Amino acid sequence: MASYRVNAEAVAFCEELIEKKQYVLDSDWGNVQPSAEAQNAYLERHDWDAYARWHLGLTEGANEHTKARYAFVVGDYRRVHRSGLIACVYRAAEWRHKSVERAAYGLLTALDEAAGIDDAFAR
């Protein structure tokens, strides 16, 4: 199984997008997550550093500037998707990648706070 470390630049980038309200609250991640074609198109117009900012995980041992290096995408290359963060939390938890899980959960919490989503059960 691959091992990942948290991409601190991606976390900071997502925090900036959340602060700027550049997020989508309701989306079907299975339909909006970037396809291989969308990834390639993005890379034709942007450098690897820009591509990396959309991925919370860096694959240990993978070569820099390869798609294999970047994992746990959180947006559609324009906005962070709440459903993308949920998918990252779930997938990282399922495969026991705790640092990525915690980073994704922290961003999800920040997005929910920024969007005014509260815990109705806490009342």
- The span from the CA of 74 to the CA of 88, in Å, is 7
Any idea of the CA torsion for 112, 116, 118, 123, to the nearest 10 degrees?
A: 160
pLDDT in tens, the chain (123 residues): 899 999 999 999 999 999 999 999 999 999 999 999 999 999 999 999 999 999 999 999 999 999 999 999 999 999 999 999 999 999 999 999 999 999 999 999 999 999 999 875 554
In the chain, the DSSP E strands lie at 4-6, 23-24, 55-59, 70-73, 80-81
Domain regions of the chain by residue span: 4-117
pLDDT at residue 120, rounded to an integer: 59
What is the pLDDT, as a whole number, of residue 1?
80
